[in-house]
A and B are shown apart, each in its own frame.
Chain A
Amino acid sequence: EAQVTQNPRYLITVTGKKLTVTCSQNMNHEYMSWYRQDPGLGLRQIYYSMNVEVTDKGDVPEGYKVSRKEKRNFPLILESPSPNQTSLYFCASSLSPSSYEQYFGPGTRLTVT
């Protein structure tokens, strides 16, 4: 089954404690991205990757890191989480960002206290 998986689905953590949210896709997609969704603000792109070892900042990259060492995986790293990073996070993949369907993971609900 074609899918994007994220882990964990729910996470409550404390300020400053490093965390990683994993994302994996089994569709051999080149394009992957991370979004956060907040009430009234919609989906905002954090980082995206056009291919292995190629990543770029989205609209709200501050406080986040990513890596793309393999095509299928695109982890999101919060080195020192802060309460303003409390949000719903989605990973997505597609053949390209322009004309093809974006497949989203189920989401990770993160709370930073």
Chain B
Amino acid sequence: RKEVEQDPGPFNVPEGATVAFNCTYSNSASQSFFWYRQDCRKEPKLLMSVYSSGNEDGRFTAQLNRASQYISLLIRDSKLSDSATYLCVVNTGTDKLIFGTGTRLQVFP
């Protein structure tokens, strides 16, 4: 089983739609969780950290479920500019980060 798993997609959604991605992790000792965004052939950039209490940043909401070992990302009112690959990133308590393979989102007009 992979340490971090994501549905690769693509998720094709119309503008204005709400879309949600999940990411599961296998190590119950994992301590830190992040969502990164990566545009085609560009470097990943931090979208948001994921806190135990959940957090929201504008149209984006991230949640952590430790019992079921998954994190989620909800995007409301999707924009064309949201089209990208979203990477789930987990720190397992060591000095390394584990990256998921990413979920591709395509927002169409």
Contact = CB atoms under 8 A, between A and B. Distances in A.
Interface of A: 31, 33, 35, 40-45, 48, 50, 56, 58-59, 88, 90, 97-99, 101-102, 104-107, 109
A33 B44 CA distance: 14
Interface residues of B, number: 22
A42 B101 contact: yes
Closest 6 CB pairs of A and B: A42-B101, A104-B43, A43-B99, A101-B46, A98-B91, A42-B99
B96 interface: yes
Contact of B45 (A88, A104, A107): A104
Contact of A90 (B44, B95, B100): B44
B43 A56 contact: no
Interface of B: 8, 31-32, 36, 41-46, 49, 87, 89, 91, 93, 95-97, 99-102
Contacts of A106: 42-43
A101 B45 CA distance: 9
Nearest to A6: B43
B43 A90 contact: yes
Given A97-B97, A104-B43, 15 more contacts: A33-B97, A35-B99, A41-B101, A43-B44, A43-B87, A45-B96, A56-B95, A58-B96, A90-B44, A97-B91, A101-B46, A102-B46, A104-B45, A106-B42, A107-B43
Dominant secondary structure at the B interface? loop
A44 B3 CA distance: 12
B51 to A, nearest CB: 11
A66 to B, nearest CB: 14
B105 to A, nearest CB: 16
Nearest to B4: A42
B101 A48 contact: no
A99 B91 CA distance: 8
